[in-house]
Amino acid sequence: MATATADAVAQEGRGLYRALAWRRILIIVGFAIALALSFTIDIAWGPARYALMDVASAIVSPGSVSDKIRVVVWDIRMPMALMAIVTGACLSLAGAQMQTILANPLASPFTLGISAAASFGAAIAIVAGVSIIPFATNFMVPVNAFVMALVATLIIHFISQARGVTVQTVVLLGIALVFTFNALLAFLQYVASEQALQSVVFWTMGSLTKATWEKIWITTAVLVFALPLFARHAWALTAIRLGEDKAASFGVNVRRIRLETMLIVALLAAVPVSFVGTIGFVGLVGPHVARMLVGEDQRFFLPTSIMAGALLLSATSVVSKSILPGVVFPIGIITALVGVPFFFSLILSNVRRSW
């Protein structure tokens, strides 16, 4: 076969692969541009209508505009817009890796009960003032959320490893976890004081209005911490999608990578939830969009999932301000309204098919 045509064919394969890789990089760049656009609109748009020029000058030289505009832009809109991006990125990344590790297209922090667990953990802190880890009283809410998210993650992790457990079993287990933690949360709400109750209820809806600069930094730090850990295992994580046996035959330590990934997922899911409340379905939809566009080579799948999640939540943030003039809807309500039909379509489509 070592003829000139064979060489030409071989050459062609290489060239086609390079072209494919470039196309995927372009898609990621496209997402970055769209995200920048969405972020700009998110800042320019809000219940208080300001001219675009005023907002722009508030950003470029905060000293030159009135205090009111400065406060609206820098202390309200900017934190909300940034929080939308980092939260979307974290949740989508968590969902992407859950789907990879569990080989389950329906997996995401929200659908498998990790968000509900985190909510419950945070509610313990808000209602009872109890920190699960004794010394962490300053960051009681996120730490509690993380601990409970970790518990839920580990339950899913170990049960999904058992023999004969199917994709559907894990989803049902997730639903059971959602019910359990929601019931526990309801119990806490029942015994909560009036003030604590209000804070818990508002926060189970998921709203970016709780964003502060400190929360943004912490969430970003979690994202920055997780990324290199995933990036280091990019080839191995991709191989896991070919099946456990195959990945192992490539020399991948499947068990260790699974556990490590799930621990990071718990962190990625818990921290944003503890700050802005339960925002569902971003972690489900983001990775699916990424997978459709760039496939599952993690070198492209990871950044695209992050971008897709960030863009989804950023765009939803704009939508949440646009439905009724002067009203900012809790973002969690909107993502749920959009996400539920998507979730349905995934369940109804044949799960065994390529996804």
Partner 1 sequence: MVTIALEDIGAYYGRRLTVSGITTPTFSSGEIVAVIGPNAAGKSTLFKRMAGLLHGPGMVHVEGSEKGKRAISYMPQDTSANAVLTVYESILLARKQGSGWKVSDEDLALIDGVMNAIDITDIAFRNLGELSGGQRQLVGIAQTLVREPDILLMDEPTSALDLHRQMEVLDFMQQVARERSMIVFIAIHDLNQAMRFADRALVIERGSLKGVGATSEVITQQLLRDVYRIDARIEPCSRGQLQIIVDSVAKGADLSSGSATKAA
Tokens of 130: 């109890």
- CB-side exposure of 254: number of CA atoms within 13 Å? 19
Among 102, 140, 222, 236, binds partner 1 (CB under 8 A): 236
167 binds partner 1 (CB under 8 A): no
Residue positions counted in the chain: 355
Least separation, in Å, of the C-beta of 301 and partner 1? 9
All residues at 6 or more sequence positions from 173 whose CB lies less than 8 Å from its CB, including other chains: 112, 155, 156, 159, 160
Q: Are 342 and 283 in contact (CB under 8 A)?
A: no
Residue closer to partner 1, measured from CB, 136 or 234:
234
Among 197, 241, 333, 346, binds partner 1 (CB under 8 A): 241
Q: Are 302 and 96 in contact (CB under 8 A)?
A: yes
How many residues contact partner 1, by CB under 8 A?
A: 39
Residue closer to partner 1, measured from CB, 3 or 138:
3
Q: Are 274 and 199 in contact (CB under 8 A)?
A: no
For residues 281 and 91, give the distance between their C-alpha atoms in angstroms, rounded to a whole number: 9
183 binds partner 1 (CB under 8 A): no
258 binds partner 1 (CB under 8 A): no
347 binds partner 1 (CB under 8 A): no
201 binds partner 1 (CB under 8 A): no
Least separation, in Å, of the C-beta of 17 and partner 1? 5
297 binds partner 1 (CB under 8 A): yes
Least separation, in Å, of the C-beta of 307 and partner 1? 17
Residue closer to partner 1, measured from CB, 9 or 51:
9
Residue closer to partner 1, measured from CB, 10 or 186:
10
Residue closer to partner 1, measured from CB, 34 or 167:
167
All residues at 6 or more sequence positions from 134 whose CB lies less than 8 Å from its CB, including other chains: none
Least separation, in Å, of the C-beta of 163 and partner 1? 9
21 binds partner 1 (CB under 8 A): yes
Among 159, 183, 221, 231, binds partner 1 (CB under 8 A): 231
- CB-side exposure of 127: number of CA atoms within 13 Å? 22
Residue closer to partner 1, measured from CB, 278 or 298:
298
Q: Are 294 and 174 in contact (CB under 8 A)?
A: no
Tokens of 158: 């170990």
Segment contacting partner 1 (CB under 8 A): 38-46, 154-162, 239-247, 329-337?
Answer: 239-247
Least separation, in Å, of the C-beta of 220 and partner 1? 23
Tokens of 39: 């972020």
Burial status of residue 72 (CB atoms within 10 A of its CB: 0-12, 13-18, 19 or more): buried
One DSSP character per residue, 51-84 reads -HHHHHHHHH-GGGS-HHHHIIIIIIIHHHHHHH
30 binds partner 1 (CB under 8 A): no
Binding residues (CB under 8 A) for partner 1: these are 1, 6, 9-14, 16-18, 20-21, 231, 234-236, 238-239, 241-243, 245-246, 248-252, 291-292, 295-297, 299, 352-355
